[in-house]
Amino acid sequence: MDGLIKGLIDVALGHNDDRDEERNSESREDRSRSTWAEVVSGEQDNDEPSGDRRHGHDHNQWNKEEQEQSYGRNEEWESGGSRPSMRPHKAVQEGYERNEDSGQADYKQGRWNRKDEEENNDGWQTVCKKPPKRPHEVQITHWHEYKRPPSEQEYSDHVEHSVNLEPSEEELSDLVKACDKLWELDLNRLVPGKDYQIDCGEGKKVYQKDDMAQGSLFSWLSENVFRRPTFSRFCSLLDNYNPHEGYKEVVTSQEMQEQEAFIEEICRTAPIKYLHKYLSSKDIVSENYQDFKRIMTSLWFNLYGRGGTSSCSSAFEHVFVGEIKNRGEQEVSGFHNWIQFYLEEAKGGVDYQGYIFPRRRGEIPDSETQLLTIQFEWNGVLKSVSSTLIGVSPEFEIALYTLCFYMGREDNHVQLGPYPVNVKCYRLGNKIGSAFPIAEC
């Protein structure tokens, strides 16, 4: 009887409601991580790591990438406050896949199919799952034109001569000035709010694992973006690689053609023309533009060893596409390009987890920010900290990293428009091991 009376008193006073609220709060804090994306990577199961050393480069220099980006952040990154998030649902876009019949890498329009696993037959949904993505499409049909023979390729016109592409004496003597000039020459850089929209979500520290983004980083991107020649040719390269580090890459004649066509296309733009004039004036490359194109193709696409296996990686694959380390605990390495992020996010391969707090209070990124430090999962594997330049053109990034590789050091403290940046550049002899930007304080 005493227990019954006590129970009635608890109900009257609302004590049970308090307990329910505590349980509900614990449930809300127990967030689930996205695990439904799987790697689509060709015949990776048929290849075994050879265990070869990397041609005498036994050091793990590129592994410093994550160390550099995480440096000091566990204690020094500070919360600048939180803001309410008006998150869009993440969007399913048309994915791309390989043409197994032809044996060539080929983009196909096809809806990324996924059953609504969160919903059962009675229509009930699991409340701890992220909201489903809203579909929007990537127009990629014209990319098939890049599969034509070299003699049938059509390229854009060379940049207008009215643009000043001659490096000044001040720029030739100061890498900071030269990099800022490249930013100015990026005529293809997108405009936030006009060409695309991002939602940074909520912030976090590097070591925090909670998913602070309920939706996608990219809310939308103008369909005209992928009609730009350098952008679309860049996209045609992204399915040429096995994302797992340690598996030898097999480069087909078709893929070699795509590489050369990409270099040809970007060499018609202002940033690359400026780069050539800069490096040739320093006697680093030939004044002959055709020779320069061959050097650029070799620098970015020639294969080298990584993770104990020869011919399994390249500068382009690591920096722009990304790789998954399989030694010990899996982790994402490289993957600093926003276009690759957008496409992978669109087809479900990337799960955006939130931005990393800036070191200074009050400097919270917003939809206008074009240098962003983020955390995400790629094919279910975490990248705890990664930085990327949002909206810049492929030719700008190629020019920036190439210039820092030839003219700079491991740390290159430069200015890119409004952003003070440390462009990290790791070398493997005469090759680019890794390159990426880090926001300066």
DSSP string, 295-356: HHHHHHH--EEETTEEEEE-HHIIIII-EEE-SSS-EEE---BHHHHHHHHHHTSEEEEEEE
Q: Which helix (H) or strand (E) holds 435?
A: strand 431-439
Long-range contacts of 404-413 (CB under 8 A, 24+ apart): 404/175, 404/179, 404/435, 405/299, 405/432, 405/435, 406/279, 406/282, 406/284, 407/175, 407/178, 407/278, 407/279, 407/282, 407/284, 408/175, 412/175, 412/179, 413/176, 413/440
Structure tokens at 412: 């290159």
Quick one: which H or E segment has residue 293? helix 289-301
Determine the Cα–Cα distance for residues 386 and 337; give it in Å rounded to an integer: 10
Q: What are phi and psi of 256, to 5 degrees?
A: -65, -40
Q: How far apart are CA 429 and CA 174, in angstroms?
A: 24
Q: Where are the domains of the chain?
A: 87-110+129-439
The token duo for 421 is 């940046």
The amino acid at residue 403 is L
DSSP category for residue 173:
H
Q: How far is CA 141 from the centre of its chain?
A: 23
Average pLDDT over all residues of the chain: 76
Band the pLDDT of 99: cuts 50, 70, 90.
very low
The tens digit of pLDDT for each residue in 197-245 reads 999 999 999 988 889 998 999 999 998 999 999 999 999 999 999 988 8
Q: Tell me what pLDDT residue 152 has.
A: 84
Helix axes 15-29, 2-13, angle to 10 degrees: 70
Window from 158-167, 219-228, 282-291, 329-338 with minimum mean pLDDT? 158-167
Query: What value, to the nearest 5°, has the Cα angle with vertex 50 and ends 49 and 52?
Result: 125
Contact residues for 37 (Cβ-Cβ < 8 A; gap 6+)? 348, 349, 350, 351, 377, 379, 380
Find all residues with CB under 8 Å of 53, minimum gap 6, and list them: 305, 308
Q: Give the alpha-carbon dihedral of 171, 175, 176, 182, to 10 degrees.
A: 70
CB 224 within 8 A of CB 191: no
Chain-centroid distance, C-alpha 97: 19
Query: What's the pLDDT tens digit per position in 366-425?
Result: 999 999 999 999 999 999 999 999 999 999 999 999 999 999 999 999 999 999 999 999
Q: What is the pLDDT of residues 239-286, one digit of tens each?
A: 999 988 888 999 999 999 999 999 999 999 999 999 999 999 999 999
Residue found by looking up tokens 């990584």 in the block? 306
Q: Is pLDDT above 70 for 65?
A: no
**What local confidence, expressed as pLDDT, does residue 41 receive?**
31
Helices (H), 52-157: 64-70, 73-76
Nearest to 351 by CA among 326, 380, 387: 380
Q: How far apart are CA 135 and CA 252, in angstroms?
A: 33
Q: Which residue has the higher pLDDT, 81 or 152?
A: 152
Quick one: which of 34, 390, 352 has its CA closest to 216? 352
Q: At what angle do helices 175-185 and 270-281 cross, to 10 degrees?
A: 150
Report d(CA 262, CA 256) in Å as an integer. Answer: 10
Specify the pLDDT at position 143: 65
H-helix or E-strand containing 427? strand 419-428
Active site residues: 318, 336, 383
